[in-house]
Amino acid sequence: MAKLYFSFSAMNAGKSAILLQSAYNYQERGMHTMLLKPKLDDRDPKANHIVSRIGLNREADLFTNETDLEAHIKTSHAERPIDCVLLDEAQFLTPDQVWALARISDYTKIPIMCYGLRTDFKGELFPGSATLLAIADDVREIRTLCWCGRKATMTLRFDESGDAITEGKQVEVGGNEKYISLCRRHWLEKKSSREV
């Protein structure tokens, strides 16, 4: 039975690497996957690739908030049967797009595996993540660590001088130059490292 999966974590837990490993496993068994990523994630020169911090990468179809994912997947599936859809940066999905993915899983019987952040730098759920947490058949946490060794569940955004940012727009694409994963305690304290 096909399911809608949501694997979430704070930043730098290896979500993209796990997604790419899953895609490789399908490919190794002669199966066809569709990889999707949001167009707004343009951090890498290979904008149409899912890229992990450890150097893995693979081409992906890009989507925006206006993309009809249900139609896109069904059209591609009619041309060449898809065994699994793997979607990176799932926090950027709209609630309607999450419901479209659920319909694909339920009626087209294609497993949909979504990977993304649960919360933003203010500790608030992203709309896509909130909907996935509410309706996904299988929700999994991928763990990463705070600098103190505890489980990191929060993401802190900081400016060029290293000061914590607590206000601003929810979406600001960036990596290690703008964000750090912390445990809840150190996120609340805005303490991004051990003091010397």
Active site residues: 89
Q: Evaluate whether 181 touches 8 at the Cβ level (below 8 Å).
A: no
Instruction: Return the closest-CA partner of residue 10 out of 115, 130, 98.
Output: 115
Distance separating the N- and C-terminal Cα atoms of the chain: 53
One-letter amino acid at 65 equals: N
Q: How far apart are CA 150 and CA 162, in angstroms?
A: 22
Q: How far is CA 34 from CA 17, 79, 83, 106, 114, in A?
A: 16, 12, 8, 17, 12
